[in-house]
């Protein structure tokens, strides 16, 4: 995927320590806004977003 199979970065940046660099609100905005190309705009459900935030916390 864009962030690498181990989330170490590829086309997109590493996802390790993201929660230390961005707030949950900032992460949600980045995922749904589409304002950080080349990352596309996503429309996750509330549960999918919660799962993504927990995943990022546990990397």
User: How does pLDDT run across 16-42, given as a tens digit for each residue?
Assistant: 999 999 999 999 999 999 998 899 999
Write the pLDDT tens digit of every residue in 35-52. Answer: 988 999 999 999 999 999
H or E stretch at 56: helix 46-57
Residue 6 lies in a domain: no
Q: How many domains does the chain have?
A: 1
Residue 12 lies in a domain: no
Residue 7 lies in a domain: no
Distance between CA atoms of 32 and 8, rounded to whole angstroms? 22
Residue 10 lies in a domain: no
Q: In terms of pTM, does the model score above 0.85? A: yes
Residue ranges making up the domain that contains 27: 18-57
**Burial group, residue 1, by CB count within 10 angstroms (0-12, 13-18, 19+):** exposed
Residue 47 lies in a domain: yes
Residue 2 lies in a domain: no
């Amino acid at each position: 995927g864009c962030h690498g199979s181990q989330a170490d970065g590829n086309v997109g940046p590493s996802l390790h320590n993201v929660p230390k660099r961005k707030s949950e609100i900032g992460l949600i905005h980045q995922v749904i806004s589409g304002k950080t190309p080349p990352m596309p705009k996503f429309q996750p459900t509330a549960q999918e977003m919660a799962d993504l935030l927990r995943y990022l916390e546990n990397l």
